[in-house]
Amino acid sequence: MVYPARASLVIRASAAVLACGVALSVGGCREEGTGHAGASTSAAPSGSAAAPAGAAGGIPTKEASPSLAAEGAPLPADADPEQVLIAADRAATSARYVHVDGWVDHQGRKVTVDADLTSAPAAAGWISEGGDKVLVRYVGGNVYARGSSALYEKYLGQRAARRVGDRWLMVPASGREYQQVTGLASPGGLLTELFPDAAGARKTAGGSVGGTGTVVLTTSSGSGSLTVAATGTPYPLVVDAGEKGRITFSDWGEKVSVTAPPRSQVVDVSTL
């Protein structure tokens, strides 16, 4: 059995990277069900159909706008907010790789996130909070986290920390806490979380991100925005939630490889 006290380090790390980093709500990371950062159970799995426009949650369906350009094509200059969301969803869902970095606010604490995601799904990166930095990987249905000996002692206790040493901690992603991970640790399946009320989004003129022209979608409340590439493939580029956080998406389609740590370097949390 994996006791919450023993698994807390891995849970916090994986939740921050795989939930907040990927499915950051423009109103801030949600805390539902498990009570862990960003552990929303409403995120759609990668490649799943989005809810129709105007439905409770979700972006409009791809069929809602038959005049929209083909998948991967640049946005038409006159694309409305729903068309922008549809195109961004198509681009994100079809992408195999992306890099995410930025920060989110979790219960008044700033959590920095930097990770590569693949459509496998898999993820590799790190999070940092209050000087505590944790390396995280999600691959093969398992979540791995590696921190300093001081961090292990803080979360696991002195005896367990000595046993772990400088090795990785592993938690199988099969429990309730990780049912959402497989849907979040990939480039697709994120816009339903970003814009639960697609019909209320507003389109405004954008500048450029890394030399790429953009359009900006703002939530009906004005509290957050999503920046989408207006030239080339309409990938999501920036999620800005004001005081709640800011996440950037880059290196779309650039191949990365995520592998599990060697068995000799892994300790199963359930054995502690």
Residue 181 lies in a domain: yes
Question: Which contacts qualify for 208-217: CB closer than 8 Å, 24 or more apart?
Answer: 209/237, 209/238, 209/248, 210/237, 210/250, 212/237, 215/75, 215/79, 215/84, 217/81, 217/84, 217/85
Residue 157 lies in a domain: yes
Beta bridge partners of 209: 212
Residue 268 lies in a domain: no
Q: Which among 41, 72, 119, 5 is positioned nearest to 231, based on CA atoms?
A: 72
Residue 255 lies in a domain: no
Q: Which among 50, 272, 24 is positioned nearest to 170, based on CA atoms?
A: 272
pTM reported for the whole predicted model: 0.72
Residue 54 lies in a domain: no
Give me the amino acid identity at 87.
Answer: A
pLDDT tens, position by position, for the chain (272 residues)?
333 444 444 444 544 444 433 333 222 333 333 333 333 322 233 333 233 333 334 444 444 344 444 556 788 888 888 888 888 888 888 888 889 888 877 778 888 889 898 888 788 999 888 888 889 898 888 888 898 998 888 888 899 899 999 999 887 766 555 554 444 455 554 455 545 555 677 888 778 888 888 999 887 777 778 899 998 999 989 888 777 778 888 999 999 999 999 999 999 888 87
Distance (Å, rounded) from C-alpha 214 to C-alpha 216? 7
User: Which CATH number characterizes residue 13's domain?
Assistant: 2.50.20.20
Residue 57 lies in a domain: no
Residue 50 lies in a domain: no
**Strands 266-268 and 168-172, bridge-based pairing:** parallel
> Which whole-number Å values give the CA distances from 30 to 15, 63, 226, 241, 271, in the listed order?
11, 29, 17, 13, 30
Domain range for 218: 4-45+63-250
CB-based burial, 199-212: b 16+ in 10 Å, e otherwise: eebebeebeebeeb
What per-residue confidence (pLDDT) applies to 90?
83
What per-residue confidence (pLDDT) applies to 105?
75
Q: Which among 137, 134, 138 is positioned nearest to 150, based on CA atoms?
A: 134
Residue 245 lies in a domain: yes
Contact 183, 46 (CB under 8 A): yes
How many structural domains is the chain composed of?
1
Distance (Å, rounded) from C-alpha 48 to C-alpha 85? 15
Distance (Å, rounded) from C-alpha 112 to C-alpha 92? 22
What per-residue confidence (pLDDT) applies to 198?
56
